């Protein structure tokens, strides 16, 4: 027997979002976030899904909106939790981020939408401490690199 679907719209629920993970050669595409969560930190382009949109469509759309780069969705890598908290540590929003690996088609990154900056970074830059990274960026980049090697 299925549990009834709740109609209580006052109860907060997680928000579905995607991140586009794009490796080109020995570089990875990252953006510096302009909006919460993770303002000022470097991470993958991404954002909220639109109603009726597939994971792959959302990743390709967000990639283009934030960077002007065109890509093709290849596969889902993983799903992550991202929490937006206020100065007192109270939870404001909970995002479920689905990481979608994409293949580069065309374009060079130009920050737009809610990206402050955008650029290609050598994979070693993610480990040397020169960039302030969002949580799980290094781990997701390593997953993408491993998947690229296998495929």
| Catalytic residue annotation | 117
Interatomic CA distance for residues 59 and 73, integer angstroms? 7
Q: What is the DSSP letter of 133?
A: B
User: What distances in angstroms separate CA 125 from CA 14, 51, 137, 141, one per listed residue?
Assistant: 31, 36, 12, 11
Interatomic CA distance for residues 52 and 49, integer angstroms? 8
């Amino acid at each position: 027997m299925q549990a009834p679907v709740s109609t209580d719209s006052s109860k907060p629920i997680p928000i579905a979002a995607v991140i586009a993970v794009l490796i080109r050669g020995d570089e990875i595409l990252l953006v510096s976030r302009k909006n919460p969560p993770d303002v000022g930190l470097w991470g993958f382009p991404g954002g909220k899904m639109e109603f009726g949109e597939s994971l792959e469509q959302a990743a390709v759309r967000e990639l283009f909106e934030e960077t002007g780069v065109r890509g093709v969705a290849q596969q889902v890598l993983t799903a992550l939790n991202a929490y937006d908290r206020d100065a007192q540590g109270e939870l404001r929003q909970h995002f479920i981020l689905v990481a979608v690996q994409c293949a580069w088609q065309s374009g060079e990154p130009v920050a737009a939408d809610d990206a402050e900056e955008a650029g290609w970074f050598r994979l070693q830059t993610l480990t040397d401490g020169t960039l302030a990274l969002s949580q799980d960026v290094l781990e997701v980049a390593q997953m993408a690199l491993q998947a690229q090697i296998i495929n």
